[in-house]
Amino acid sequence: MLTKLYHNLAEPRYDYVWIALLLIAESLLSTLIVKRVPYTEIDWIAYMQEVTTYQNGERDYTNIRGDTGPLVYPAGFLYLYGFFKDIATRSIDATDPTGLGGSTSPEAIRIIQWVFVVLYVINSAVVLMLYNAVLQRMRQQKRSQSSAAIMVWCWRIAMGITCLSKRVHSIFVLRLFNDAPAMLLLHISMYLFACCDSWALGCVVFSLAVSIKMNVLLFAPGLLLLLLQKNQSLLGTIRHLSICASIQLLLGWPFLTTYPISYIKKAFEFDRVFFFKWTVNWKFLPEEIFTSKPWALILLTCHLGVLGMLANKWWQSSKSQLGDINARKLMRWTKCNNDTILLSPEYVIHTMFTSNCVGIIFARTLHYQFYCWYFYSLPLLLWLTSFDSSSSTDKFGKVVLPLLSNVLAVAGVEFAFNVFPATELSSAVLQLSHAYLLLKIVFSKVPIIQIDKEKMK
């Protein structure tokens, strides 16, 4: 009886039921958090100070600042949080001795918390749809009903894990960080790339995400490879990259036409120095090493080196799957035929998440809010690199052990980001989890790259 129910519930018609149940649970949990857990002020006041300075006519980025320091986000941040300010103060008395229009009052903050609850649930829905797209592809590759059911429940566990992070809930609904809307837009762009084959619109949304916070650029190496493979030409790739660039120029126009150097230096501050006391990932290092330029150079070298190694791995896989001639088409200036390429959802998602995670693993520092940059990718990358499409009878070695190891790895990252302040132990646990993830990526197979359109119907 239970075995039959187990297999029946693993059927595709229950996938959206599972997603709906998770989203209902997320909505209820987020509502409970807003109502029961006190809001903690970190950056909202500074955001409103920066937005108000811009709204008062200032266009020199060096003069736009808040209590936490100068503005270090691109122009999209100002427009989005200006919109949030308008929503928060629409029904509130604008009399405010701070000159912020009442946007930092408890009533205004509560309104914005509800806005972020909506953003959080939408983000969860998009992420779950990405996971579901991969699940459908895994279904197609299973050889037996029994192994298919095991695979489905493993992936449903992964989907459930994406809804369980205490820190990510806090980042969205208790802290109101701009990391949250930036990652929502990034995940939407990935959905457009992977599930809709809509690359032009996806590039628009991707660039909008960058305009809110530039950490999204960590996904750019993966996106560049995908664009080359999708377009099969340099010219087609340049067209898509020009879409991304045009969005940045359009949003930054008021600043680029007045104080361009100031805008470029502050909005995309690549040489920003972080404080040791806030680091989550390198707390076991002496502070003098953490802040040193040689250490920064070592991390950058490792970052670029691993990206290069993975690029070669992806290239060899491309030649193996597509053939040497087809693999080399991406380096031609113009496309040699009118055939359209459909990249598999699992390949698109895996490539972009991997690109980002490599940057995270070798980041000079990670702050607590940075967790949402890659939390949602952890189960997917670990699961994709753990469970193959074979119908093996060794359930312990092929299913149970990898599943437990993956859950422990995700739990280790979650533990580290919930220890405040960070300790040598929490940073060590985080780095061990990162090392496990990186090894899984390096030694696993690259997902199927190209599929027939008929298989997506």
Q: How far apart are CA 172 and CA 278, in angstroms?
A: 19
Counting residues of the chain whose pLDDT is more than 70, the rounded percentage is: 90
What three-state secondary structure class fits 457?
A: coil
Where is 440: in which H helix or E strand? helix 424-443
The answer to whether the predicted template modeling score (pTM) of the entire model surpasses 0.75 is yes
Q: Please compute the mean of the pLDDT values over residues 59-86 and round it to a whole number.
A: 94
Q: How far apart are CA 14 and CA 25, in angstroms?
A: 17
Cβ-based neighbour number of residue 319 at 10 Å? 14
Q: How far apart are CA 173 and CA 347, in angstroms?
A: 32
Lowest mean pLDDT among 41-55, 125-139, 374-388, 429-443: 374-388
Report which DSSP code applies to 215: G
Counting residues of the chain whose pLDDT is more than 90, the rounded percentage is: 74
What three-state secondary structure class fits 343?
A: strand
CB contact set of 126 (below 8 Å; sequence gap of 6+): 184, 187, 188, 191
SS3 of the chain: helix, strand, coil, percent, to 5: 70, 0, 25
What is residue 150's predicted lDDT score, i.e. its pLDDT?
Answer: 87
Where is 359: in which H helix or E strand? helix 345-361
Length of the chain: 457
Q: For residue range 287-327, list pLDDT tens digits in order.
A: 999 999 999 999 999 999 999 999 999 988 888 887 776 66
